[in-house]
Structure 1
Amino acid sequence: MRKSIASYLILTLTICILVFVSFSSKETIDLSRYSTAGLELNYTVSQDENINDNVLASNGVKNADIPYLGKSFVGFKEALAFKESRGNYFTVNTLGYLGKYQFGKGTLKLIGIHNPALFLKTPELQEKAFIANTQRNKWILRRDIKNFVGKTINGILVTESGILAAAHLAGPGSVKTYLRSYGLNSFEDGFGTSIEYYMKRFSGYDTSFIKGNRRAKAI
């Protein structure tokens, strides 16, 4: 019995010695070397925990949660608005054109709007005005759309969306003159932007949503 107890004591003492030697032989690590004190830390990712993989740029990314406008009608009107005003509903340019789509007061009267101040502060009315004006232009240019879409004028393929964009810029009469002269009689606005530029830049959008309407009104 005494021998058994003595064996246990010797074993315990041996284990304690080995543990002590093991810890004493390791190099002490100075964690202060890894401190961030004094460093300028720049974080480029938001700390918002709700961010997920759906938060992506929409240019070309097809995602169920992100509307990809592409060549849709909404894509058409938003691209045109960006060119006109950078999409700003409340801007007035140096020539007096108003809002997101840069309407002149004369054009507004044609579609039933006689209060420019109210128009400028009402985004919903501006959207209605764009639809009404485009419907009116499509009715005026219906024969030219039928006769010229698919043809090439001055190296530019004529499309319906290009015609409607040019009509927004220059008015349907100027576009009709341009098409029927096969590009000989063109138009430029007060900033030097031409019918040809709009015909090319806004080519190929789907504007079938718009139905020609001679009496289209925003109000």
Structure 2
Amino acid sequence: MIKNIGSYLIVILAICSLAFYSFAPEKQVEFREYSTKGLALNYNMVNDSISHTHAEAYNTDIASSYSPSLGKTYVGFKEALGYKESRGNYFTVNSFGYLGKYQFGKETLKIIGIHNPVQFLKNPELQEKAFLANAERNKWILRRDIKNYVGKKINGVVITESGILAAAHLSGPGSVKKYLRSGGAVGFSDAYGTTISYYMKKFSGYDTSFIKPNKKAKVNKA
């Protein structure tokens, strides 16, 4: 009888143990341990080897560092273009007076609502806003040309939307219109000899759908 009672107790204890582990609450994950706070997530693409830059001087610390490839995204597009223009240096001015990471002219800045070049040069966030606003305005001006020419080949280069927008940043949308509508016969080159065709090829194939056409694009400085 005592032996039977002992057996029952063992069975009951085993059942209780299984029930406890079956219904015990799972350990809560501490997501704070995986926070990205404090990490540098805004990368500059600086590993593209080039022989020409609009800037006469650049930040050697930026130029000597490397970061993950941003691929053909919008961020990849603007960072690649910024590196081509100035090697990603927000604070440079070239001998022709073009300013910052994206080498803006003062007249272009006025069009998108920036009238203080000194403030602009000191403010990287403002420069990023200016790049987007200018791209939105150019995309609206060139909307019909984007529709009509993307996928075609001019001077051996397949035309893409990102190539068109990059070329517009280089030369202005009016020059890009003339180039496309003349089948490449009416070209443009800047003071350093960089051509529309070169920019069309170098910056082809990026996803620029993030840029929305906006006739009245202005920089919100707030």
Could you say whether these structures have the same fold, taking a TM-score greater than 0.5 normalized by the shorter chain as the test? yes
Q: Tell me which amino acid in the other structure corresponds to 1:93.
A: N
The Cα shift of 1:122 comes to 0.3
- Paired with 1:164 and 1:205, the residues of 2 have a C-alpha distance of 10
Aligned pairs for 1:202-217 (under 5 A) are 202-217=203-218
Structure 2 length normalisation: TM-score? 0.69
CA deviation profile, 1:81-131 (whole Å, cap 9, x unmatched):
000000000000011000000000000000000000000000000000000
Aligned pairs for 1:37-56 (under 5 A) are none
- Paired with 2:131 and 2:195, the residues of 1 have a C-alpha distance of 20
- Paired with 2:199 and 2:69, the residues of 1 have a C-alpha distance of 22
- Paired with 1:157 and 1:93, the residues of 2 have a C-alpha distance of 31
The Cα shift of 1:67 comes to 5.4
SS at match of 1:133: helix
Q: Tell me which amino acid in the other structure corresponds to 1:106.
A: E
| Aligned twin of 2:111 | 110
1:127 has 2:121 as partner: no
| Aligned twin of 1:76 | 77
| Count of residue correspondences | 156
Name the larger-Rg structure: 1
- Paired with 1:205 and 1:142, the residues of 2 have a C-alpha distance of 17
Q: Tell me which amino acid in the other structure corresponds to 1:79.
A: A
User: Is there any run of 5+ residues in structure 2 with no aligned partner, and where?
Assistant: 1-45, 48-66
The Cα shift of 1:68 comes to 3.9
User: Is there any run of 5+ residues in structure 1 with no aligned partner, and where?
Assistant: 1-57, 60-65
- Paired with 1:72 and 1:126, the residues of 2 have a C-alpha distance of 19
- Paired with 2:129 and 2:123, the residues of 1 have a C-alpha distance of 10
- Paired with 1:170 and 1:198, the residues of 2 have a C-alpha distance of 10
SS at match of 1:214: coil
| Aligned twin of 1:164 | 165
- Paired with 2:125 and 2:68, the residues of 1 have a C-alpha distance of 20
Q: Give me the CA root mean square deviation.
A: 1.3
- Paired with 1:118 and 1:153, the residues of 2 have a C-alpha distance of 40
| Aligned twin of 1:98 | 99
Structure 1 length normalisation: TM-score? 0.70
SS at match of 1:178: helix
* Runs of 4+ displaced beyond 2 Å: none
- Paired with 1:94 and 1:68, the residues of 2 have a C-alpha distance of 31
Q: Tell me which amino acid in the other structure corresponds to 1:204.
A: G
